[in-house]
Structure 1
Amino acid sequence: MRGGATRAILLALLCVATPAVATPAQDSAVAALFAPAAAETRAVVVMQDGRIVAERYGPGYSAANRFISWSMAKSITATLIGMLVDEGKLRLDDPAPVPAWAKDGRRAVTLRQLLHMSSGLRHDEQGEPQVQDSDTNRALFADRSADMLGAAIAVPLIAKPGTDYDYSSQTSVILAGIVQRTIAPGVTDPAARRKAMRDFMAARLGFVMPSLICEYDARGTMIGGSLCHATARDWANFGQVYLDGGRFGGRQVVSPAWVEFVRTPAATNPSYGGHFWLNRARPGAKSDALFPDQGPPDTYSPVGHLGQYVTITPSKRLIVVRLGKTQDDRLGPVKVALGRLVNSYP
């Protein structure tokens, strides 16, 4: 190799490895996420143009730790669905392939409606007035945990599909079950079902998120709405897939059409897309999932319980990951600080 070519390669590598110099506003915005008002932030990673430009961890945490997704798992599940839609194995506006619904009104529920949380199924996410009675908590921690999918699909319709928005983690379990039935038809053994799903995810997402681990119930169904774990950098990589039109590392993960679908507002909720939250206000909502009063309007994000975010802002070529444990009724300062951080980048 000629000397000039060698020098050019070394210079290119040096440029990739050299971190960008943060502005005082950017440093201050990162620090705000670790301030007492935003407690407890455990990890922040900022990537711009595919490059880490800021990274900080709370005491006791590092780049080696896996962090729980909570409901960010829904966006992982949606991505798996998108892969199968791209391959023509599933169709958004066909009836959802759930055999138990074939002989009643639930057969009208489509994949699109499940992804938009507008299935019309009777799912109770909040458990009013007793939180322990919610379908999600009973499935995750109590009497419905052995067969989460069975419990999720057994409920009746209470509204016409496609007419009402009703956020539900059990809906995402149904979608995970659809993925597993599609990639491993006829497989009922729990260990075999888990293996099929793990192999599929390793082949399709392993090069994006090598640390990713998702949990399963006793019947071998992935808990598609709640319990995936990955490093902060791998969560940033997941966001990068969507920032880059569905590509990562030179490979297509999902199609640009799927990226556009997940970030397009649902007919029943302008702040929700296809299992991703949008940086838009929802009229009448008690609070917003993101920070629409600060913008940018093109930001969208997986969002999880206790303040998990992977914000994706195409206009800034920016990913901001915030992971931690802040009670949901105290997330106001976190969202303000997160919006401030996003907006500190050009």
Structure 2
Amino acid sequence: MNQAKKYHRLKSTLEVLWVSLKLGLTSFGGPVAHLGYFHDEYVRRKKWLDERSYADLVALCQFLPGPASSQVGIGIGTIRAGLLGGFIAWLGFTLPSVIALVLFALVLKGFDMSHAGWIHGLKIVAVAIVAQAIVGMGQKLTPDRKRVTIAIVSATITLIWPTAIAQIVLIASAAFIGVLMYQEKSEAGRTMLQIPVSRTIGVICLVLFFAILVGLPVLRGITSQHWLALFDSFYRSGSLVFGGGHVVLPLLEREMVPTGWVSKENFLSGYGATQAVPGPLFTFASYLGAIHGGILGAVIATFAIFLPAYLLVIGTLPFWNVLRSSPQIQGALTGVNAAVVGILLAAFYNPIWISAILQPVDFALAAILFILLVFWKLPPWVIVIVGAIGGTLTQL
């Protein structure tokens, strides 16, 4: 029996690696689009989570600082295959982007690809992917006029007040409204997921998160070690950012450019290159680390900026089922899930729609990709290839 469990765990881990690696190679379009890719793969195709559990996990990660899409992937990998599964899910999703950006830094530095047709095609792919996610999540999470109202108000405020603080205020307000309006009507029958992480490990991870956040600046001042200072800069950036990969840009700029570690020109060209590769936008740190310190710098930067996300997800997951079973928390999650749909809708317009749909032919390509994805049920990697080819042809 023990041997059978080991075999099952190994099989699950390898499956997590394969699926996350496939997502890491095809998930273009930024964190909002990634949630659409994850929904399509983990919920619709693999059925590792039901719709409600996925929505609640997304809501949980919206509360946490760090890269929300990466945290969702870590959470799903952990639920599926334990602590190693969470790490493998992050590795598979992140590694393709890291390799590509390190190559950009070491080989293609300064090469402008921002106007390439295939990159524009990938932006249009993101339009189709996010549109599918909005339709699917909207049907499940905003089935009545109260939740539709929460979603539309959230989208409106997000567009008018596009800051990380606004997102935090919106989520907190939606949680409060959800407690008032839905705790007695909160839906029964939520799936109680098996979380293969003990609460002791969860507490240890949360303590580590805060200990490193507070202790690193002290050690940095005492030792004056350069690599420790680099680790501290990226760890702090990954710990204090709410709102996804784009929000980390000003934090990293303040850490890297004034210190002279990276020039402003290399910083901006690297951020442009980051838009051209799949996977999480936080791998921009890999590029910066490689520009500053070669392969070792890239490894330190990548590990440091993602470590807070891993510690926070592993720290909160053991308490997830208890929180979700509380009527007050269920009501809060009901409100937050509606707000998440609104935030997704706002992001669909800005930056995804306005940066991708620039002329009628772009809209036509987006419509074709949406039909292929939703009605013809083609896998996302096919949509990516078709979108890249279509984008190249539209430029011609």
What's the TM-score once normalised by structure 1's chain length?
0.26
Of structures 1 and 2, the one with the larger relative CO (CA 8 A, separation 6+) is 2
More helix by share: 2
Query: If each structure's strand is expressed as a fraction of its own residues, which one has the higher value?
Result: 1
| TM-score, normalised with respect to structure 2 | 0.23
